A and B are shown apart, each in its own frame.
Chain A
């Protein structure tokens, strides 16, 4: 891993006069390697913090010895950075003892991997057979026209990358377009502008105040049946759910948004990612624990009684968004 040396200046658009990456232009301080004809960017990495050989090494070690290890390693790196940086590949070669050619071969053989940085948003236009016969090529062309890039390219402002994919398995609804994991069914060329627009606003964006899909739930302790709602400390405009927690040697309070589907929390102590919490009722002090484990990560699920009937179970692991809302009393 080479050292990152200082960055050339300066982009005229930069008002702060700070150091700006030559290629990505707007992310101050982007790391690039000097003495390199075409700089390689680590923009996403930069947003995450510092580029770190340790991080990559961690990914390598995690998957070492796993079946199909190399592919998992590359997947891990790409999940982190959005693409496969050359330095990371060199490190993989070094650490796994496989030749760089071999690693380059695998990285270029599979379509999931890219050696180029991708934009903030990835638009995948399905051109599988079913989509193809329903005019998907015209949809892909319209994306090309509106974004001004070809499939496989990224816009200059690094907002959008465009790709065509062979099949996303939602053939009955073709043509399908997936943007950042959001599916758009039966797309025609007239909707392309709208999709791009929505992406710019944020695909997850909902008007909390007016959107019907957002609603608060009122919950009770499963043991003492007392309300856990805390009207004095609203989150997102609604009374929060207040519980006490413990992890490691720490004890404190935790407030959760009562809006269904919202993962906003406030807590007394900073809770590290991946920590499994013990959660208690602030009134009867009983531990709120059920018999079920999180289907995704295996941590215990925390059952809460919901007004109106039913039960909501939330995963006790920080960073796991798994939850089950059973509205009928008999949920499994």
Chain B
């Protein structure tokens, strides 16, 4: 390469390069991103296959190939982006490449491979329309896509070194500083110090004989942030250009790029760029004959977080331990070797050429006053679309997380965003309307930092996050300040105590005190901000700390020592699923039954209709495979073993006449309470409004899921001499709360359930042909009335909607069944397997649609007016709110409409409770204390759906168990507390040795009756597992319990299988 000698040379050279660029035809170009993340995902393989294909087919003049750095959408790597149409083919495999090339040559889009938005399913033909890109302003990051970082010509083609040319032509360093100042650019490294002001100070500092330094800080130590790597890797010349301009502005001749050793590709590309710039004469002595000297060298960091702090960085550059020094003097006055040193972050330097090229005024139009320009964030963690995003400062967190990031990847709700790395804090989802700028984030207890945005959801434990950061800071504290060194250690120990179950509430106070001391007494930024992770989580998530300390529970299932085997912790009634699965693996079926029955009085019911949170938490599933089919295994046992195998422990009431307790409602909650109180010697009377006990099990759950004889048998096994069931007796009509106390009942439990479907709130909801789902299901389940006719529409997305749809499908005069749901399938609250079964049977599901009008013909329901939705901001449940699309109104012809949007207890049930002096909520549920289940009236407890609204069977059973304990305490005059129960295994069961070669990997499929047969009758759909299937499935269990048994209590080994 010929060295450029003068400014005119540079101008001429740039003109030639752009002229050549303009001559280039519109040849389709395949762009492959091969930054560190691209290469990690296999971009090199894709590149090779493209090259191979091009050579083999002789396509050299038909297709161009460009290898670039990271574009930011790391999620979809390895990908091919086709320019100029911007077709994005994500997550390609090597064998897909020829198909993409064929499509490019043929001028069409390969629909099977083109980018499809997850969850929604929309295909996008242009990258610019993809939600991830649409709301971004990719001023800096955008150029990564345009150029090959190791080819300087590519950079010149994209206005490379135009800013340098402008600066050299002006030959006025003061002008540069004025431009940067009036652009409002603030340092992107974290603290947000105005960059122009810093340069001004640096220019004024020192005398003419002293050397000065410009340092590019690429010691990107914040775990979770990687935009600096991406910039240095993907567009190194833009950083060099920024540094040279900085050098000219402040009068420095020495540049240093301090880069983490963990970034080998960034180092390589920077070295290449430096060599090219030197050869071209853009670095060195007397650059282009303008009298400016500037040379840049690379210094590699050797791995110390604190070296991101500028005084520590300087020590490290000098070859010492990276311990910070007292400021002032600031590095601007006395930095490297005692000389003035101006340290700028990579992203700050990347902005320089943008400001110079477009002008400060133009630049300042982006963003908000005081926070101008764009900022790159690394949007990572529990989010659907992860990667680097560049947005104008001042955009809200919510927009970044939901509109660009696409919200949560699964059903778990997003809980918080952590910004600013270990020095930052956690911002809870309630504050997602906060604009991201330097000042707002600080006020919220966090900082901007270098731009990490780590999204956390319900499965992230905030105490664990605080512990994680404190562990990091404890390791990274350089040790110079005592309070930082010791304080971070002590805070980490306390957090360890809390996450391992030894925490006390007093420690929380100590933790806060320590945090404040460390913040106030440390010398450098590391210590001063070390408290942020603790203080911000305490500020917004104190309840999680308390839950760990008081209840010894980690609801995110992260803190192992509190969780124990996850299947057990996930079960609302604490069933030791691992234990009965182990018994099944060993062929000990009666033992398995006893384990199941001890925790749960409705094993057969739950074996069929439980939502099995145990399986959602099963480690076999969360570690990347399929969870154990725990519910099917439970069914396998309950189908085989008689309930009489389990003989519960009974206590006779010791002091005189046993007390009487009234339970109103014979559903799973009420019957569970009755059963457990009976075991303690109470006399319980259960009042039931319907002719038979069973509550929702009978009324709402269809027979094809839960056969009636199974319910009956289960209930019969629970009833004993202590329990009297009185049917056809309802609260209000036949009994009152006052009356029950008058009749000598010591306590009353309200377990009425939620039997009233909520209306849509549209006109004509009461016309014939429109039914609330509970009414529809009850009519069929209790009276065999078939209300559905012809074309049936079901509104809703919960289990009740699916039950109604599948029941309707089985009714005589039904032609078709369509479920209309206002969000997408991903947001449907119904159990996935139920949805699948419904679809299999022929139910159609239409999503993103809402009803607007119920139309009638001669008094009968005939049409439903509907409108289409798109997904907008998330609502209080964390699910994205459906937003009506204007002009999408349409009408569907239907004969029957079933409304299944939600249920409550209904005015009929709630009124008598209220007249009994019991407070109720605005949502027609009874107000009860979450810990004690006590209502506003002493002696009256409430449990199940009447408190929670529609909920699962197992939650109702758990509530019933708790109510029994609370009522017992109440009657005995004891404090209403439930003792904290450890979730650690109490027995050791030897695992069955399985040959690893033969160890099965895949989950057994729950057998179902054939679709053709089952969809026209009400026989049970699911079929039990065979002994062989069950044994195989049970042996797949990873036996998480063993870790805890072996660790905590070696003695229990001796106890063997059955003992307690």
Contacts and interface: CB of A to CB of B under 8 A. Distances in A.
B223 interface: yes
Nearest to B150: A295
Contact of A174 (B225, B297, B380): B380
Interface in A235-285: 260-261
A288 interface: no
Interface in B42-62: 45, 48-52, 54-61
Interface in A50-78: 67-72, 74-75
Given A68-B319, A172-B380, A190-B625, A308 B54 contact: yes
Interface stretch (A1-9, A14-22, A209-217): A209-217
A155 interface: no
Contact of B51 (A67, A109, A260): A260
B589 to A, nearest CB: 30
Interface string B153-166: 11000000000000
Given A190-B623, A190-B624, A130 B381 contact: yes
B74 A130 contact: no
A203 to B, nearest CB: 13
Q: Which of B58, B153, B279, B302 has the most CB of A within 10 A?
A: B302
Interface in A299-325: 306-310, 325
Q: Which of A109, A131, A213, A260 has the most CB of B within 10 A?
A: A109
A133 B381 contact: yes
A129 B622 contact: no
Given A133-B454, A185-B41, A189-B623, A167 B55 contact: no
Contacts of A189: 623-624
Contacts of A158: none
Interface stretch (B123-131, B269-277, B722-730, B960-968): B269-277
A171 B380 contact: yes
A292 B49 contact: no
A327 B47 CA distance: 11
Contact of A293 (B1, B27, B478): B1
Contacts of A325: 51
A132 interface: yes
A70 B261 CA distance: 15
Nearest to A171: B380
B317 interface: yes
A309 B59 contact: yes
A327 B37 CA distance: 24
A304 B625 CA distance: 49
B229 interface: yes
Nearest to B320: A106
A329 B224 contact: no
Contacts of B316: 68, 71
A83 B658 CA distance: 77
Given A67-B319, A71-B316, A309-B61, A134 B36 contact: no
Interface in A164-211: 165-174, 176, 181, 183-185, 188-191
B49 A213 contact: yes
B101 to A, nearest CB: 11
Contacts of A176: 40
Interface string A112-129: 110000000000000111
B948 interface: no
Nearest to A329: B60
Interface in A25-47: none
Contacts of B226: 167, 169-171
Contacts of B36: 168-170, 183
A68 B305 contact: no
B1 A295 contact: no
Contacts of B57: 308
A330 interface: yes
A295 to B, nearest CB: 4
Contacts of A330: 24, 64
Q: Which of B37, B148, B154 has the most CB of A within 10 A?
A: B37
Contacts, number: 221
Q: Which of A172, A188, A306 has the most CB of B within 10 A?
A: A172
B220 A169 contact: yes
Contacts of A188: 623-624
A172 B452 contact: no
Given A67-B319, A169-B226, A332 B153 contact: yes
A308 B58 contact: yes
A327 B54 contact: yes
A131 B381 CA distance: 7
Contact of A112 (B222, B303, B468): B303
Given A308-B54, A309-B61, A171 B321 contact: no
Contact of A134 (B221, B381, B468): B381
A224 interface: no
A97 B622 CA distance: 55
B521 to A, nearest CB: 22
Contacts of A133: 381-382, 454, 456, 460, 465
Given A71-B316, A133-B381, A328 B60 contact: yes
Contacts of B320: 70, 102, 106
A129 B791 CA distance: 52
B63 interface: yes
Contact of A296 (B222, B272, B297, B302): B272
B61 to A, nearest CB: 6
B378 interface: yes
A165 B305 CA distance: 11
Contacts of B256: 67
Interface in A121-171: 127-135, 138, 165-171
A112 B275 CA distance: 26
Interface in B204-260: 220-226, 229, 256, 260
Contact of B41 (A129, A173, A306): A173
Nearest to B53: A327
A308 B60 CA distance: 7
A329 B58 CA distance: 11
A141 B51 CA distance: 40
Contacts of B305: 166
A292 B379 CA distance: 39
A166 B452 CA distance: 14
Given A213-B45, A328-B60, A172 B319 contact: no
B381 A310 contact: no
Q: Which of B39, B55, B220 has the most CB of A within 10 A?
A: B55
A174 B301 CA distance: 23
A212 B220 CA distance: 37
B796 interface: no
Contacts of A332: 148, 151, 153-154
B299 A68 contact: yes
A13 interface: no
Interface string A84-117: 0000000000000000001001100111110000
A239 B78 CA distance: 32
B221 A167 contact: yes
Given A166-B223, A309-B61, A68 B318 contact: yes
Contacts of A231: none
Contacts of B469: 129
Q: Which of A167, A292, A308, A309 has the most CB of B within 10 A?
A: A167
B304 A328 contact: no
Contacts of B299: 67-68, 71
Interface in B263-311: 263-264, 268, 271-272, 275-276, 279, 297, 299-305
Given A71-B302, A130-B386, A308-B55, 6 more contacts: A68-B319, A75-B261, A105-B321, A110-B301, A171-B380, A171-B452
30 contacts: A67-B256, A67-B318, A68-B318, A68-B319, A75-B261, A102-B320, A110-B302, A111-B303, A129-B421, A129-B468, A130-B386, A133-B460, A135-B622, A166-B223, A171-B224, A171-B378, A172-B378, A181-B264, A183-B39, A213-B52, A260-B48, A292-B1, A293-B275, A295-B276, A308-B59, A309-B58, A309-B60, A327-B59, A328-B27, A332-B154
Give the 10 A-B residue pairs with the shortest CB-CB distance, closest first. A309-B60, A128-B223, A183-B40, A188-B624, A111-B303, A308-B55, A172-B74, A110-B302, A167-B223, A169-B226
